[in-house]
Amino acid sequence: MRTSDFDYELPQELIAQYPSKERGGSRLLVLRKDSGRIEHRRFADVGEYLRAGDVLVVNESQVLAARFIGTKRDTGGRVEMFLLRELAPAHWEVLLKPGARIREGMVLSFGDGRLTAEVGPILPGGRRQVTLTTDGDLAAAMSSLGEIPLPPYISRSPEPSDRERYQTVYARVQGAVAAPTAGLHFTEQMLEQLREQGLSVAPVILHVGIGTFRPVKTDDPDEHEMEIERYDLADSSARMINGSRAGGGRIVAVGTTSVRVLESVADEAGSVHAGAGETGLFIQPGYDYRAVDALITNFHLPKSTLLMLVSAFGGHENVMGAYQEAVAERYGFYSYGDAMLIL
């Protein structure tokens, strides 16, 4: 397939700039991939499509307060620092703006000097290594001075409410620069109701990198280079998932991030194996899913690797048809938008 096969027209006003008023209040498009049939529901109804014995796989990654605005200590010039990943304690891979004017050894100041960053060598892709220092607790200083990095298609500045709404209710391990957005719809009460219904909830970790927003620019998707992302699947979750499958339950992935973990650690028989590592798995139509039986996801950007992953699961014709219907029905798109359940 060509990258153009994953393009679609989206009116700008359908890109959600804010989440639904309450978690669980968004809309839900249900797609049955065997027939292509579509139903329009509310996300709060998702439990009607799940059954006892199923396992909900959720990504517990927490979004970093990754964007910092500060100054160069020597000139006072404005600088922006965006954290990408921790290389070692206090040592980070970052993006700096204006990058061309920042030299190795320069010291950047944030929060009137409460946090400083000494600039290290240039890394591949124009990224930089920095060493962060503060007089007190480093994690606390980073959290208080950094902004939650909203995606580039949200055309407003972060607001205080985003610190809570751009995190899932089960986020617990910092490391991502973007939220696993399919999970934003769940409330604690909904998860408890699903457990009472007989479902299990298996946590995984995949820290979303900045590459999640990078469109596929090559005509042939196979020529696209995926960003490496870190994952962790605990023994307890692996046992829960394998036990459910052995008992006839379904593995319901909440989000494309959960999919990438499961498919990265699954063997040919569909059993998953605990462990931590990095994955560059690129899923597109033609991929043979091994560990996922149902998928809860948001609506993704045209020509994106995430749309390709969803199309590989639900069928390209089914998914692109569902996107056309979602546009016609005025669904909200992208991170703060509505949801889709593929069975």
Q: Can you spell out the DSSP letters for 153-194? A: TS-S---TTHHHHTS-TT--EEEESS--GGGGG--HHHHHHH
- What per-residue confidence (pLDDT) applies to 123? 92
Q: What angle do CA 227, 233, 236 make, to 5 degrees?
A: 170
Residues β-bridged to residue 230:
278
Give 305-321 pLDDT, tens digit per residue: 999 999 999 999 999 99
**Which DSSP string corresponds to 40-105?**
EEEGGGGGGG--TT-EEEEE-EEE---EEEEEETTT--EEEEEEEEEEETTEEEEEEETGGG--TT
Residues β-bridged to residue 94:
83, 128
- What per-residue confidence (pLDDT) applies to 267? 97
Q: Are 335 and 294 in contact (CB under 8 A)?
A: no
Quote the tokens at residue 187: 């409330």
- What per-residue confidence (pLDDT) applies to 317? 97
- What per-residue confidence (pLDDT) applies to 223? 95
Average pLDDT (286-314) is 97
Average pLDDT (84-99) is 93
- What per-residue confidence (pLDDT) applies to 11? 97
- What per-residue confidence (pLDDT) applies to 238? 98
Q: How far apart are CA 336 and CA 120, in angstroms?
A: 36
Taking CA atoms, 193 is separated from 56, 125, 198, 228, 295, in Å, by 12, 46, 9, 35, 19
Using alpha carbons, select from 55, 298, 44 the residue that is nearest to residue 166. Answer: 298
* CATH 2.40.10.240 domain span(s) along the chain: 67-145
Judge if the upstream peptide bond of residue 98 is cis by omega within 30 degrees of 0: yes
Fold of 67-145: Thrombin, subunit H (2.40.10)
- What per-residue confidence (pLDDT) applies to 213? 75
Over its C-alpha atoms, the chain yields an Rg (Å, rounded) of: 21
Taking CA atoms, 126 is separated from 130, 217, 225, 228, 285, in Å, by 13, 19, 16, 16, 32
3-63+163-342 in CATH: which number?
3.40.1780.10
Q: What is the mean pLDDT of the chain?
A: 96
Give 207-263 pLDDT, tens digit per residue: 998 887 788 999 999 999 998 999 999 999 999 999 999 999 999 999 999 999 999
- What per-residue confidence (pLDDT) applies to 339? 98
- What per-residue confidence (pLDDT) applies to 100? 79
- What percent of the chain has pLDDT above 70? 100
Quote the tokens at residue 93: 């891979």
Q: How would residue 159 be classed by pLDDT, with cut points 50, 70 and 90?
A: very high
Place of tokens 């390709």: 308
- What per-residue confidence (pLDDT) applies to 104? 94
Average pLDDT (106-129) is 94
* CATH 3.40.1780.10 domain span(s) along the chain: 3-63+163-342
